[in-house]
Amino acid sequence: MRLILLGPPGSGKGTQAQRLVQKHGIVQLSTGEMLRAAVAAGTPIGLQAKEIMANGGLVPDAVVVGIIEDRIEQPDAKKGFILDGFPRTVPQAEALDDLLKKKHLKLDAVVELRVNESALIDRVEKRAEETRARGEEVRLDDTPEVLINRLAQYRSLTEPLIHYYSERRKLLTVDGMMTIEHVTREINRILTAIGALEPKTEEPAAQAKKAVKTATKASKLAKKATKGTKKAVKPAQKAARGPAKRASKARATKTGARAASARKGAKAVKKPAKKVTKKRAKR
Ligand code: AMP
């Protein structure tokens, strides 16, 4: 799954991205985090970005596009990713489109977290307080003054992306004013609805376990059905043992596909067992 989380600072993109990462095992690619790491490490990109970030401005498009291009190439991003804070301008979105096209990758959706601006200052102040309480360093740009600039940047440069992705039928809007839990649930619900998420399936191990159970039951049924007809018991049991064997193999390999075929085999076994007894009864 490839997803973009779109929303102003303090809308909950980072929180929701982390929750999606935990649930679906894909990576969160936050350009803000990457830039902060670059600033901390004092790399050339960090040196270039430091001042801009401290004032709540946007780092040049070419810089962030370059960062994302490299990051998407990493093995951990192959399964999918959640872009948090990127793209932030139309040229960044266009560059991302080109990048994905070049790599034959599809963007599943853009989830916009819609929030009331009035709530954002409170949220950002709360985030700063919580960070302080954890004994961690507060972000330089998490102050009401810088936030005003970041919001202005969002309105003029990032908000046009709502139209950009809506035209491309990628935009899904979620009410970001709900509780964290509700927002997560709503995001998962819409992602499932558009087919970006598989409906929850059983673990392969659980499927295999079920297959073994069904095969054993089928074997018992086959034995019961052929009770008294000594010769007929043999083929029925043999047929039942087949899927049971396959089922235990599936359990060993833990592959869902094998487990499914084992279950099919277990169902099929009921028929030959019945047929044999009928024939016997006629005679
Ligand atoms: P964030 O952590 O997403 O709030 O980003 C923190 C800061 O990093 C922003 O205020 C910008 O200065 C910079 N930044 C992060 N992502 C981008 C981006 N996609 N384009 C330009 N600047 C960015």
Evaluated on CA atoms 16, 20, 23, 27, the torsion sign reads negative
Same domain, 177 and 219: no
Q: Structural domain tally of the chain?
A: 2
Query: Active-site residue 169, yes or no?
Result: no
What CATH number does residue 21 fall under?
3.40.50.300
pTM over 0.85: no
Query: Which 8-state DSSP code applies to residue 274?
Result: H
Q: Is the distance from the beta carbon of residue 164 to the nearest atom of ligand 1 less than 6 Å?
A: no
Structure tokens at 252: 């060993």
Query: What is the gyration radius of the CA atoms in the chain, in angstroms?
Result: 28
Q: Is the distance from the beta carbon of residue 150 to the nearest atom of ligand 1 less than 6 Å?
A: yes
Same domain, 179 and 216: no
Query: Active-site residue 139, yes or no?
Result: yes
DSSP letters, 191-207, are: HHHTTSSPPP---HHHH
Residue 163 · residue 181 · CB < 8 Å: no
Per-residue pLDDT tens listing for the chain (283 residues): 999 999 999 999 999 999 999 988 899 999 999 999 999 999 999 999 999 999 999 999 999 999 999 999 999 999 899 999 999 999 999 999 999 999 999 999 999 999 998 888 888 888 888 889 999 888 888 888 899 999 999 999 999 999 999 999 999 999 999 999 999 999 999 999 988 876 555 445 555 555 556 555 656 655 555 454 444 334 434 433 444 444 334 333 333 333 333 333 333 333 333 443 444 444 4
Query: Active-site residue 241, yes or no?
Result: no
Give the separation between CA 138 and CA 221, rounded to whole angstroms: 67
Centre of ligand 1 from the C-alpha of residue 58, in Å: 6
Same domain, 191 and 227: no
Q: Is 48 exposed, middle or buried (0-12, 13-18, 19+ CB in 10 A)?
A: middle
Same domain, 188 and 227: no
Set 114, 123, 139, 241: catalytic member: 139
Give the separation between CA 124 and CA 53, rounded to whole angstroms: 16
